[in-house]
Structure 1
């Protein structure tokens, strides 16, 4: 089948983009999704069961290279199921903070100001509501109360509509969650954007069980009737302005090993996530020349920023023994927390974001040699505005090979991330010393009262920290003169026509709060740009001419949204997808 738009990955952003584009009955949209539908998967429907999705059969469970200054045992959840990570996260959904979005302009990004993203946030079809009173855990309520008193934080009842939070970046309270309280149904983008649209729109289809393995190209300057294959590999122009190869489709492989080619009349839109979008670009010949050359991939566009600028929220842990039974009441189990600035001179956003879980996740501390008592409680502070940067790179031209992920945790030269994590644990100790939380505590178990210096705390925390699964920034937007900018402000891949990226990888900097609200707003904005709500600058118009016919033969592959090909049968001959 040839569609006007191919959306590669039916994840958090891909569902929104596909649904919005298919609102126009005159265009056809096809989503390539390696996983099944989530409609009958109850673990994906109830937000309370999110942890059952992590490390499940849907999770690619990516690992990292050894970390020089961080935890080397990080397991990064990436979902192969319609809805992507919005089927397996806690849907703590924040309106983009002005201090987070305004700094994007420093990278030469235009058209992405706070007012624009806030307007797009207001368009979201996903229900977002404060945790319902019936779901508010009494123990967690005590921690919230103690945090407000100990840290002199304002109470937040509705963070997203509170102008004081937008102005100060501080507060404590139960979060706003993407869910329906009466049913505990999660507000995944598949549920609220795609399910009904697929049933009712003839112009929208989803190809389940197919992994995108390579973007197909035709020469930008070839005649439409000419065979573009012979010259496709020679064009490595990195400029925008309507030059460079044109993306005309994508190659996929099904579970049984059958290889298909899907064609796009207008655009290929990569929504594969912050690990697999750069991987797909690299395996398609777009990326750092030295990385591509080392793996035997022909360089189509030398784009040094592809896979760089990886950011994540590193989350520490402090654990106490309790002699009380913690109630199980909750919406997600991670329903409340605190946002804290470490200096009055810092920007109006948190430097430390704390989560107050119902049930601690202490696996890394146990692996560190800490013996946990039967009953424990915890606070999990994270580095809200990470300065450290990592990268993701292909390890081979083989699509079954997993990417090489290096988070670069705590490698920022000024040590700000390390200082923030230590400060977060010190703040948590102050909360624990404050009634009513103090009444729950028998003793501190980890890091332990014997660790008092910054150096002692840092060593323990860096060895045991967790990810908050917020990997981003690996195909970031940037200005025309920024050599590390993979995309322009219209999310178009530089040096290529008819190709965009829309997911967490496009963020120039990571938000200081959970980013899913920003990612969904970015997807809404992307759909506006693609549909021509604003004219496209400097590259092929978003609804441009038919591409040249001669697509490049397949060479290499890449899974969409993290798909692992290890279990796929040997590839069969290429077929035209229907």
Structure 2
């Protein structure tokens, strides 16, 4: 590492020499805190959206500053983020309860406002504050949504480049898929079926692979789900078809070492190795976007703060906001873009009156059932001090065994008639506006350690069609103060009806021959005392949690649409030189785990930016 006291011109010469030799010193890719600087592009937030856009623009020859409030998760969360099994068991701050374990180096510590439809609970909403963002703390599942969901997006924004067949090239561009290692998986009950045409062997840096070990408990729950009428898909869940099937899905795991593949370990590390055009500012928060006095105003840079030191990073071309569904609208509002009444209340000078900023928050919920089972699981095997050392060695030597594995099975369906026949006319009419290939529920099995190294099997249903809408607002004119988050779960009666039906469907899973083969005793959660629709709904309101797929607070749309914040290329209405590139611009929840879609979204908008340059 170079000492920071070296003259700037010498640092520049060394970095330039490194580039001429097709390599560079690691220290040359980090911005100098406290010193005003200028770049072609300034990207705020190094999650999936920001990491992809910054990396792609830098590889194209543009100078890019990437501003991130956190640091390296490999250091600040260590194995808990790197080792797949620990992503399910070792990240304590994922806890959604109000009294969660804090980890200020990795998490923003966001708490929602009390949710009237969910027993007036306040929910902790973990969001990755680190290079890689939430791709450093998620469960790593990789799949894509239904074709009709992307078609609805394309129609809504009047841009057919968002249709699935046109977006597919960006899905392919972002990742490389490794076929399953059947020897390491060592399971005849977890058949992997997928469509190789949905991937490109020479795709991008994100590593996508199937787990090198299969949890036995999950195989039995998968059998139970198949027994209720959801057989394995013949294509997998990356070709735009999900409904009516289950699939053993891949994860964002590097199969060579079974480490998490995040936006940082893939895109940013690739950029660090291959480009001297990227400057990363870690532990640095953007506090305000700057604009010139032209009409319409143009974004010229951002004011940032590194550990109390404030300075300006200017952008010759564009400022790109990728701060996530909660912080992107907050940054727009404190910078003067948002609902005029909100900005007036906080005495923030108005740049553009955009009523949609912070509105339209779509946040699907999940419900779960748990039972004791007779099978082993990753947690029970590794939680036993007698057996754990052998599994650690297996992981280190062979990148296999329980530590190499995360969640890897999902099923999707439209709720069957027998479970929806009592829906109100209003709920039926709302659901009828969604095409038949759009899932109403998705099912995820899981396993946990119980007393005396016993195993608890769990099934979770999450409902991607969320009719309830929440919002994000500001509590002050400062980014240092957390935003106000109104999740508003279950405020629409249709969501409550769907959640009750999904719960009953979960009980159906546990009443199959496959489940009864391994199930032990009475239901653990919520227990046999919960039977009537009223009791089920009360349980849902008291226990429903997020699936961590919030979207919509900077929605894409067409100019003139009061709810829209950006156009189909992520450009903010009413100003020049400013885009938003993250999940907040999706106007509704895509029925899938979000990360695969956001990788493709960022690849696509990076191309838009290059073409506009």
TM-score range, shorter chain: 0.7 to 0.9
- Alpha-carbon shift at residue 209 of structure 1 (Å): 1.5
- CA separation in 1, counterparts of 2:408 and 2:144? 16
- Alpha-carbon shift at residue 116 of structure 1 (Å): 2.2
- Alpha-carbon shift at residue 105 of structure 1 (Å): 3.6
For 1:147, the equivalent position in structure 2 comes to 225
- CA separation in 1, counterparts of 2:280 and 2:215? 39
1:432 paired with 2:504, answer no
Provide, for residues 154-201 of structure 1, a one-character-per-residue CA deviation record: whole Å limited to 9, x for no partner: 213752455xxx345231232221112342211211111111312331
- Alpha-carbon shift at residue 410 of structure 1 (Å): 1.0
For 1:64, the equivalent position in structure 2 comes to 112
Q: What 5-or-longer segments of structure 1 have no aligned partner?
A: 222-243, 362-370, 533-541, 544-578
1:402 paired with 2:482, answer yes
1:317 paired with 2:390, answer no
For the residue of structure 1 that corresponds to 2:302, the secondary structure is: strand
- Alpha-carbon shift at residue 103 of structure 1 (Å): 1.1
> Is the 8 Å Cα contact of residues 449 and 455 (structure 2) preserved in structure 1?
no
Matching residue within 506, 519, 523 for 2:602: 523
Provide, for residues 215-247 of structure 1, a one-character-per-residue CA deviation record: whole Å limited to 9, x for no partner: 0110224xxxxxxxxxxxxxxxxxxxxxx2110
1:1-400 equivalent positions in 2, closer than 5 A: 1-25=37-61, 27-40=62-75, 41-51=78-88, 52-53=90-91, 55=93, 56=103, 57-70=105-118, 72-110=121-159, 111-124=161-174, 125-127=204-206, 129=208, 131-132=210-211, 134-150=212-228, 152-156=229-233, 159-161=236-238, 166-167=240-241, 169-221=243-295, 244-255=296-307, 257-322=308-373, 325-328=376-379, 329=402, 331-343=404-416, 346-359=435-448, 376-400=456-480
> Is the 8 Å Cα contact of residues 475 and 505 (structure 1) preserved in structure 2?
yes
- CA separation in 1, counterparts of 2:236 and 2:68? 34
Instruction: Report the CA distance shift for 1:19/1:314 in structure 2 as closer, same or farther (over 3 A).
Output: same
Instruction: Report the CA distance shift for 1:90/1:324 in structure 2 as closer, same or farther (over 3 A).
Output: closer
- Alpha-carbon shift at residue 377 of structure 1 (Å): 2.3
- Alpha-carbon shift at residue 326 of structure 1 (Å): 3.7
For 1:454, the equivalent position in structure 2 comes to 533
Instruction: Compute the TM-score of the two structures, normalised by the length of structure 2.
Output: 0.77
For the residue of structure 1 that corresponds to 2:356, the secondary structure is: coil
Instruction: Report the CA distance shift for 1:396/1:360 in structure 2 as closer, same or farther (over 3 A).
Output: farther
Aligned residues: 494
- CA separation in 1, counterparts of 2:414 and 2:71? 42
For the residue of structure 2 that corresponds to 1:82, the secondary structure is: coil
- CA separation in 2, counterparts of 1:330 and 1:436? 26
For 2:573, the equivalent position in structure 1 comes to 494
For the residue of structure 2 that corresponds to 1:309, the secondary structure is: coil
> Is the 8 Å Cα contact of residues 217 and 248 (structure 1) preserved in structure 2?
yes
**Higher normalized helix content (fraction of residues):** 2
- Alpha-carbon shift at residue 387 of structure 1 (Å): 1.3
> Is the 8 Å Cα contact of residues 140 and 260 (structure 2) preserved in structure 1?
yes
Q: Structure 1 runs of 4+ off > 6 angstroms?
A: 371-374
- CA separation in 2, counterparts of 1:527 and 1:81? 21
Instruction: Report the CA distance shift for 1:261/1:189 in structure 2 as closer, same or farther (over 3 A).
Output: same
Instruction: Report the CA distance shift for 1:521/1:287 in structure 2 as closer, same or farther (over 3 A).
Output: same
Instruction: Report the CA distance shift for 1:69/1:469 in structure 2 as closer, same or farther (over 3 A).
Output: same
- CA separation in 2, counterparts of 1:313 and 1:457? 18
- CA separation in 1, counterparts of 2:410 and 2:241? 18
- Compare relative contact order (CA 8 Å, sep 6+) and give the higher one, 1 or 2: 1
Instruction: Report the CA distance shift for 1:401/1:372 in structure 2 as closer, same or farther (over 3 A).
Output: farther
Provide, for residues 90-149 of structure 1, a one-character-per-residue CA deviation record: whole Å limited to 9, x for no partner: 1211123212111124433413111222111010125554533x4111111010011101
> What RMSD, in angstroms, separates the aligned Cα atoms of the two structures?
2.3
> Is the 8 Å Cα contact of residues 226 and 232 (structure 2) preserved in structure 1?
yes
- CA separation in 1, counterparts of 2:442 and 2:403? 20
For the residue of structure 2 that corresponds to 1:282, the secondary structure is: helix
Instruction: Report the CA distance shift for 1:143/1:216 in structure 2 as closer, same or farther (over 3 A).
Output: same
For the residue of structure 2 that corresponds to 1:417, the secondary structure is: helix
- CA separation in 1, counterparts of 2:49 and 2:456? 37
For the residue of structure 2 that corresponds to 1:213, the secondary structure is: strand
For 1:419, the equivalent position in structure 2 comes to 497
For the residue of structure 1 that corresponds to 2:318, the secondary structure is: strand
Instruction: Report the CA distance shift for 1:127/1:19 in structure 2 as closer, same or farther (over 3 A).
Output: closer
Provide, for residues 45-97 of structure 1, a one-character-per-residue CA deviation record: whole Å limited to 9, x for no partner: 22322243452331112111111102523211111110000111012111232
Q: What 5-or-longer segments of structure 2 have no aligned partner?
A: 1-36, 94-102, 175-203, 380-401, 418-431
Instruction: Report the CA distance shift for 1:395/1:342 in structure 2 as closer, same or farther (over 3 A).
Output: same
Instruction: Compute the TM-score of the two structures, normalised by the length of structure 1.
Output: 0.81
